[in-house]
Structure 1
Amino acid sequence: MATRYPMGNYMKQAGALLGVSPDRVLRRVGLSNTLLEEDFSVTAEMFFRLWDAMSAEADRPGIELELATAYAHGPFIPPIFAFSCAETLASGLERLADFKALIGPAIMEVSRPGGGLHLVLRPADPGLQMPARMGLFELLYILECARTFTGVNLRPVATGLPGPLELDADALAYLGVAPDTGDAVRLTFSAEDADRPLITRSAALWETLEPGFVEQLRAKNDTTSMTARVRQSLSEALPGGATSIEDMARRLNVSKRSLQRRLSEEGTSFQNLLSQTRFELSEQYLKNSDLSVPEISYLLGYRETSSFFRAFQGWTGMTPGDYRTKGTAV
């Protein structure tokens, strides 16, 4: 299953900053504006398409610098916070690289060739190309964060963009060095700047918050389908009577609407999975245990045994007792 990335809140924030209608951006790529009712997620390909659509809808130069400076001083973004708590610029960017996947479809690599500090940002999917204007935003954003967290007006040694792009005067002046055109976002700092301490560093705060960040990354990298997660969770939750989609959404830490959409994308629904899981478990209990029918009914989350009888007859055309007898005879 393709990895998905949060986009809904970002579109609302960026739209407000740029004076752009998120509805119009969604229409440009053929998506419904009902997605804006929550923080929806998209594939890497759609993420890039939405970025291009946002740029096209704004239709003016300089939006990348506007967004970069606003975001560097605006909403709380966990990977950027991780960066800010580090001891030095180099360790901060290395930490940002660890958690970058939480906020976008990109892989970030940090190295120290010759003592300097070299950063490369590529699409997480090697079959895709990051839009050049998005690459410019990433370049400006990381540089603005680096300047803010060090308290120094750092000047890169070199920069690069994933495709040709004519920069406006403000963006070029901000970078201080014209970017090369290549296959990735690139940013290089001197050895002196690499080891600069961050004025925002806080080892104690990071120690407190790091486990939560690591868990978010683990969950992000979990490629198990939502169908499999729901089936597993139902097996655990049914004996406690958790049989509603609201119960399941809470257990899986997603919204009801997100859960419905994810299951629909995988070609199923919560009610189908609930019925399938109950049937499969009932078969196991009837064939491989001495549990009574009322006990099995309870374990499947039915409040009334009669409800289990009706459901089982609908699945098999037999009563649970007849099914168990037939299985034993075979």
Structure 2
Amino acid sequence: MQQFKDYAGSVYGGLGHLLYAYCQAHGLLICEKLQQVQNQERFEFSLWREILDDIHRQTRHTALGLDIAESVQPRHLGIIAYIAQSCDTLGEALSRYHDFHRLIYDGSPLQVEARGDYLSIRWQALPAHLATQITDEIAIALMAKFLQHVMELEDIRIHEVKFIHPAPEDVLFYERYFHCRVRFSQPQSELIFPASVLLMPIRHADQTLQKLLMQQATTLLEKLPHSTQLDERLQQSILKGLQKNNHQIQQIAEQMHLSVRQLQRHLQQQNTTYQQRVQQVRQLLAVQYLQDPHLSLQQIALLLNYSEQSAFQRAFKLWTGLTPLQWRQQNIA
């Protein structure tokens, strides 16, 4: 699989078509970047942000993301929209959306979480240079319109919407749009629904079609390159987990706001396993610790969460061909 060193996420080409149609409908100048992505299956998220910024400069629309989302059609979201439409219930559709959301935007993990009588749908925070008020708005508004219009669930009721960015002058505009309370300057952007929506039936359910579409979606998902952002977060989570003796895959996945299945799939795409990644992090730490002459081999073994020093020695020799003592003597000398 092709790897991209600075890969920071991509979006489905259909979203480029959505922006093109919006510009045409409103008589806006179609910038060169927007022209270029019309024939691309996917394009970088940074380009998506730049095109949105260009449209905003032309319109100065207070809630541009909400306005753009009004025009969304299944073709703009691709195969994931058709999979969702073939499900029996909204709960099943959200589960499928969760599994394949990278096909729409690959880079910021989607989190669907039950909180008592409510259901939260949110995205992991993006780096500051990629996330803007407009990207947050359009992500939230696209999800809301996807459920209401694409899924033909006009009766669905949103309990609350939260945005990271500060409140605009006209908060009521947002509340009229979502038909619920909208809060700003929150820790994360998210949609909150009553948990009862999970049981809502879908009119055009077709399990046979769903299986065929999921096979296609799985193939498309496997073609996506890995995100170095996700790998860096995984390494940091394992580092912290080793320090606290809290590094089982279930615990690490939860910290990263991923399901175990999502994390395992990500690692499989790189032909590795979770245990191999843990060992890689242990090796990095071991080399750092061995350079400190004040740490004994027994202390290092404990810091790396080995129950016995002998287990650490065996692992280190597999990594380097040397015992920890031999490596320390050679490198410190």
- TM-score of the superposed pair, with normalisation by structure 1: 0.56
Provide the C-alpha distance between the structure 2 equivalents of 1:201 and 1:40, rounded to a whole number of angstroms: 27
Provide the C-alpha distance between the structure 2 equivalents of 1:168 and 1:15, rounded to a whole number of angstroms: 28
Q: Does 1:172 align with 2:171?
A: no
2:110 match: secondary structure: strand
1:198 match: secondary structure: coil
Unpaired segments ≥5 residues, structure 2:
229-333
Q: Does 1:143 align with 2:144?
A: yes
Matched-pair contact (CA < 8 Å) for 1:151–1:199? no
2:68 match: secondary structure: helix
Give the drift of 1:169: 4.7
The AA in structure 1 aligned to 2:10 is Y
- In structure 2, relative to structure 1, the CA distance for the partners of 1:153 and 1:64 (3 Å cut) is farther
* Residue of structure 1 equivalent to 2:213: 209
1:86 match: secondary structure: coil
Give the drift of 1:189: 0.7
Matched-pair contact (CA < 8 Å) for 1:108–1:119? yes
2:101 match: secondary structure: helix
Q: Does 1:69 align with 2:74?
A: no
* Residue of structure 1 equivalent to 2:158: 156
In structure 2, which of residues 12, 16, 21 is the aligned counterpart of residue 16 of structure 1?
A: 21
Provide the C-alpha distance between the structure 2 equivalents of 1:70 and 1:153, rounded to a whole number of angstroms: 19
Provide the C-alpha distance between the structure 2 equivalents of 1:131 and 1:190, rounded to a whole number of angstroms: 28
Provide the C-alpha distance between the structure 2 equivalents of 1:116 and 1:37, rounded to a whole number of angstroms: 39
1:70 match: secondary structure: coil
Q: Does 1:111 align with 2:113?
A: yes
1:182 match: secondary structure: coil
Provide the C-alpha distance between the structure 2 equivalents of 1:154 and 1:97, rounded to a whole number of angstroms: 19
* Residue of structure 1 equivalent to 2:196: 192
The AA in structure 2 aligned to 1:156 is I
Give the drift of 1:67: 2.0
Which of 1 and 2 has higher RCO (CA within 8 Å, sep 6+)? Answer: 2
Give the drift of 1:127: 5.9
After TM superposition, the structure 1 = structure 2 runs for residues 87-106 of structure 1, keeping only pairs within 5 Å, are: 87-104=88-105, 105-106=107-108
* Residue of structure 2 equivalent to 1:120: 122
Q: Which runs of 4+ in 1 moved over 4 A?
A: 6-9, 125-129, 167-170
Provide the C-alpha distance between the structure 1 equivalents of 2:17 and 2:147, rounded to a whole number of angstroms: 25
- In structure 2, relative to structure 1, the CA distance for the partners of 1:35 and 1:143 (3 Å cut) is closer
Give the drift of 1:188: 0.9
- In structure 2, relative to structure 1, the CA distance for the partners of 1:36 and 1:77 (3 Å cut) is closer
Give the drift of 1:49: 3.0
Provide the C-alpha distance between the structure 2 equivalents of 1:196 and 1:160, rounded to a whole number of angstroms: 23
Provide the C-alpha distance between the structure 2 equivalents of 1:23 and 1:46, rounded to a whole number of angstroms: 12
Matched-pair contact (CA < 8 Å) for 1:61–1:168? no
Please identify the structure whose Cα radius of gyration is greater: 1
The AA in structure 1 aligned to 2:131 is M
* Residue of structure 2 equivalent to 1:60: 61
Provide the C-alpha distance between the structure 2 equivalents of 1:195 and 1:34, rounded to a whole number of angstroms: 41
- In structure 2, relative to structure 1, the CA distance for the partners of 1:44 and 1:74 (3 Å cut) is closer
Give the drift of 1:217: 0.6
Provide the C-alpha distance between the structure 1 equivalents of 2:195 and 2:112, rounded to a whole number of angstroms: 13
After TM superposition, the structure 1 = structure 2 runs for residues 4-43 of structure 1, keeping only pairs within 5 Å, are: 4-6=9-11, 10-18=15-23, 19-23=27-31, 26=33, 35-36=36-37, 38-39=39-40, 41-43=42-44
- TM-score of the superposed pair, with normalisation by structure 2: 0.56
Give the drift of 1:64: 2.5
Tell me how many residue pairs correspond in the alignment. 216
Unpaired segments ≥5 residues, structure 1:
27-32, 225-330
Matched-pair contact (CA < 8 Å) for 2:90–2:198? yes
- In structure 2, relative to structure 1, the CA distance for the partners of 1:40 and 1:59 (3 Å cut) is farther
Provide the C-alpha distance between the structure 1 equivalents of 2:37 and 2:113, rounded to a whole number of angstroms: 38
2:50 match: secondary structure: helix
After TM superposition, the structure 1 = structure 2 runs for residues 244-263 of structure 1, keeping only pairs within 5 Å, are: none
1:22 match: secondary structure: coil
Provide the C-alpha distance between the structure 2 equivalents of 1:215 and 1:156, rounded to a whole number of angstroms: 33
2:136 match: secondary structure: helix
Provide the C-alpha distance between the structure 1 equivalents of 2:153 and 2:12, rounded to a whole number of angstroms: 30
Matched-pair contact (CA < 8 Å) for 1:155–1:189? yes
Identity %: 13
Query: How well do the aligned residues superpose, as a CA RMSD in angstroms?
Result: 3.0
Provide the C-alpha distance between the structure 2 equivalents of 1:212 and 1:45, rounded to a whole number of angstroms: 27
Give the drift of 1:157: 1.4
Matched-pair contact (CA < 8 Å) for 1:90–1:117? no
Give the drift of 1:54: 2.5
Provide the C-alpha distance between the structure 2 equivalents of 1:77 and 1:106, rounded to a whole number of angstroms: 18
